Amino acid sequence: MSAPGPSPACSAGILAGGASTRFGGQDKGWIELRGRPLIEWTLEAVRPQAQQILVSANRNLERYRALGVTVVSDPGTDAERFDGPLAGLARLLGAADQEWLLCVPCDAVQLPADLARQFATAASVSQADIAVLADAQGLHPTFCYVRTALAADAQRCFDDGERAPRRWFERHRVARVEGPTPINLNTPEALRALELRL
């Protein structure tokens, strides 16, 4: 069976601007899994699902651009560069050229091939402006699907001092997409464990 096509009017945005303190401050997108950078694994999963690919990053910008993506850089001084996922999400929404944005973190390997379509269906059925991945543990807010018309509102929320997408979501109608806990490589131990399973 062929992989599902892209959902209608969907950009994809990858969050790659975190401080990555548990990896010694390395740019997590370029940490390798089985000899390939994490960003390449994530791109492989999202490219078939979207018409536009964006990466929110604050370092190694030319290296990301060499992957054939549009880079949305985090402005400001070094102290302001790691402003949290809402900052990256707001900038991705502002740069998207489609009606919806599929957002995932750069270490989100092994994404479902139809994730964008699952989100689009849930948003349509619920008449929601945001769909977000959820499981028994709760929401996974960096795995989301957001109407890009909300870009200015996301930026206002950030400017008002909020840093967590979850709190911004509370302002809007949200559809939960139930699924397995996503593989999110937050520690070197998690990375090594996944390498053993692949």
Helix (H, G, I), strand (E, B) or coil at 20: coil
Strand, coil or helix: 194? helix
User: Of 103, 84, 96, 104, whose CA–CA distance to 149 is shortest?
Assistant: 96
Which residue numbers belong to the known binding site for Mg(2+)? 107
Hey, what amino acid is at 101? Answer: L
* Number of CB atoms found within 10 A of residue 43's CB: 20
Provide the annotated binding site for GTP: 15-17, 28, 74, 107
The answer to whether 150 touches 96, Cβ cutoff 8 Å, is no
* CB-based contacts of 63, cutoff 8 Å, min separation 6: 30
In the annotated binding site, the residues are 15-17, 28, 74, 107
Residues 6 or more apart in contact with residue 94 via CB below 8 angstroms: 72, 151, 152, 155
